[in-house]
Structure 1
């Protein structure tokens, strides 16, 4: 089915990178056997790497089904799923009330979780001085355009990076710092880069670079150093939380009401699939597969955590 949206320039801009080919899901009874059956997944660039791996294995086990995975950001994933332009949207953040009011039929399927890491270039002066901790207050000052300080030491030459695209990574990071998802947008002194991979490449290629990316991306480069985050623990005391897979996995298993115990809870987030209403047979089969223990290797390979292990 080819879905055309006439006169919707704004939506076209958001979804410009998405394919116009959407699967024909009208006949759910034959969905799992039809040779021409296709499934289109689009949205979060954070979710995309694990979706790629899951799709590859799913197609191997289900001959005749083609799964296409595209990026575009969490915002586009919510919008495209809500409008029914894609079969499954992807978002690496909570779906808030505003989105649900706009798309009341949207259903959220949590497939896993991850966390945001703050990174600096391995040759950054802070690393050379063994300043590998950064506090929430210091990050807030930096990303508000203030003086750059880590552990109280000023680094005037630090170059900050943010996301140039609409993303769950930036929304989560900004909401953690300022309780405002859009707080970082528009600060001219902060360079933008496309996607987690773009920010990672920018920091890796800049000896004075500092930025934030999803933890799974941060662990793929030897050119960056992951900083520990100083924040309040669940008892209200300041604590340096080490960014590690074990700590993040433990934190993801906690309810947000308990406060941070292993890693700042505000920097952890769910990995969600979204459907426009109740998923049809093929959508449900793919989502169920993504949530099954059989998909854990795909999450591990990308540095994320499957819902089956959280």
Structure 2
């Protein structure tokens, strides 16, 4: 079953990003068997669209990376550069969320999983051989549509928005609030910060927010609110330079006032206080690759490549920080 799922996800010509996310989400919800049922449903539909053309033709080795949508743009840049250097290798990158990255690694569906959070103890109980390889760091930011004309918010203010007990930020009435539709390291970090978590450490199921897929989905939804005030949360790398406002935030206890700038987040990742929330309920978090047991030769080579200072441009392009910049 796992080999079939790998084949499906690797078939980037025949499977759309949406179907790939559905398969990886099924891995989290119902495991490999359920994902296999989805695979069987779609396999005939996509078969006619499958093409032998493209970079993978004749490739001697394939490497499948999937999981966190935060890590995804970094992986895509690294994959492109790695394939330019290693002509016999095809690297396929998919999203799906951090939960899918962990589960698909544990189930041996992907070669390298990705997660914008640490692997949970409950996940390690299921898959004790998962190894974590941190490659970088970043932070979650709160975003608002330009129509809001807001500048700052607090953890308690955001909790009230998401649990339905409040409707304003920075004195402005909010029309729509967005969250992630899939298991996400970004949402887990945000939910911990506002102290509104469900049993799975995502936002509590009673959240009144509308769910959309991926960091890109949340960003697009908030950007699209041109005549209404909309609020959501994404990784800094997605919001930086986008047509939204990144709001100053407090710590989880509503103290301080922290501006989400590149310099402040990098300083917080280094452990500096009073730059951006970085305690155990803060908004900074790791960017991790995952392997099932010791990485294979090709996996180890890619991980070494990803951690090389020569790849700093990929981190800069994604708006993230390489681990060697702050470790």
- TM-score of the pair, normalised by structure 1: 0.83
Give the corresponding residue for 1:110. Answer: 134
1:208 is displaced (CA, Å) by: 1.3
Q: Distance in 2 between matches of 1:35 and 1:218?
A: 36
Q: Is the 8 A contact 1:120 1:211 kept in 2?
A: yes
Give the corresponding residue for 1:177. Answer: 194
Matched, 1:68 2:92: yes
Q: Which whole-Å deviations, capped at 9, do the CAs of 1:214-237 have from their partners, x for residues lacking one? A: 111111412x100000227xxx89
Q: Distance in 2 between matches of 1:209 and 1:248?
A: 24
SS of the residue aligned with 1:146? coil
1:201 is displaced (CA, Å) by: 0.7
SS of the residue aligned with 1:99? helix
1:35 is displaced (CA, Å) by: 4.4
Moved more, 185-194 or 260-269: 185-194
Give the corresponding residue for 1:291. Answer: 307
Q: Distance in 1 between matches of 2:202 and 2:162?
A: 9
Matched, 1:218 2:242: no
C-alpha spacing 1:14/1:182, structure 2 compared with 1 (3 Å):
farther
Matched, 1:164 2:181: yes
C-alpha spacing 1:35/1:183, structure 2 compared with 1 (3 Å):
closer
Q: Distance in 1 between matches of 2:66 and 2:250?
A: 34
Give the corresponding residue for 1:196. Answer: 215
Q: Which whole-Å deviations, capped at 9, do the CAs of 1:255-307 have from their partners, x for residues lacking one? A: xxx8x521011111100000000111100000011111011100110111111
Post-superposition, which runs of at least 4 consecutive aligned residues in structure 1 deviate over 4 A? Answer: 12-17
Give the corresponding residue for 1:87. Answer: 111
- Higher strand proportion: 1
- TM-score of the pair, normalised by structure 2: 0.79
| Structure 1, unpaired ranges of 5+ | 21-33
Give the corresponding residue for 2:249. Answer: 229
Give the corresponding residue for 2:124. Answer: 100
1:177 is displaced (CA, Å) by: 1.5
Give the corresponding residue for 1:142. Answer: 161
